[in-house]
């Protein structure tokens, strides 16, 4: 497997990990008070948009020529950093805001 293929495989695996994180946050949205639910949903939509952008970068890398993939890889890494930071931020934000629902 070439370094390009290995890189793409690694990025696709990371996207799957982030899918799990987003699904986990979505599930937790049902466990919080009404005030926080809206914030959860906004954050989840933002994460999904960043994830879609990262998927688009993967597609660009898959279809790029050998010479262009190095340049595209830089853009991919920026998208990856942004997505990772957003996931970390959401995880820490909502783990501290979890409250019991009132009946």
Q: In 3D, which of 93, 77, 96 has the Cα closest to residue 44?
A: 93
User: Residue holding tokens 């939509």?
Assistant: 45
- Judge if pTM exceeds 0.75: no
**What pLDDT score does 2 carry?**
67
Residues 51 and 22: beta-carbon distance below 8 Å: yes
- Condensed to tens digits (0 to 9), the pLDDT of residues 7-63 reads 888 888 888 888 888 888 887 777 767 777 777 788 888 888 888 888 888 888 778
User: Residue holding tokens 């290995």?
Assistant: 6
């Amino acid at each position: 497997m070439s370094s390009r293929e290995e890189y793409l495989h690694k990025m696709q695996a990371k996207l799957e990990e982030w899918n799990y994180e987003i699904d986990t946050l979505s599930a937790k949205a049902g466990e919080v008070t009404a005030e926080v639910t809206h914030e959860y949903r906004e954050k989840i939509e933002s994460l999904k948009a960043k994830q879609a952008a990262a998927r688009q970068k993967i597609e660009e890398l898959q279809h790029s020529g050998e010479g262009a993939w190095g340049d595209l890889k830089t853009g991919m890494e920026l998208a990856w950093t942004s997505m990772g930071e957003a996931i970390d931020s959401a995880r820490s934000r909502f783990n501290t805001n979890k409250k019991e629902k009132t009946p």
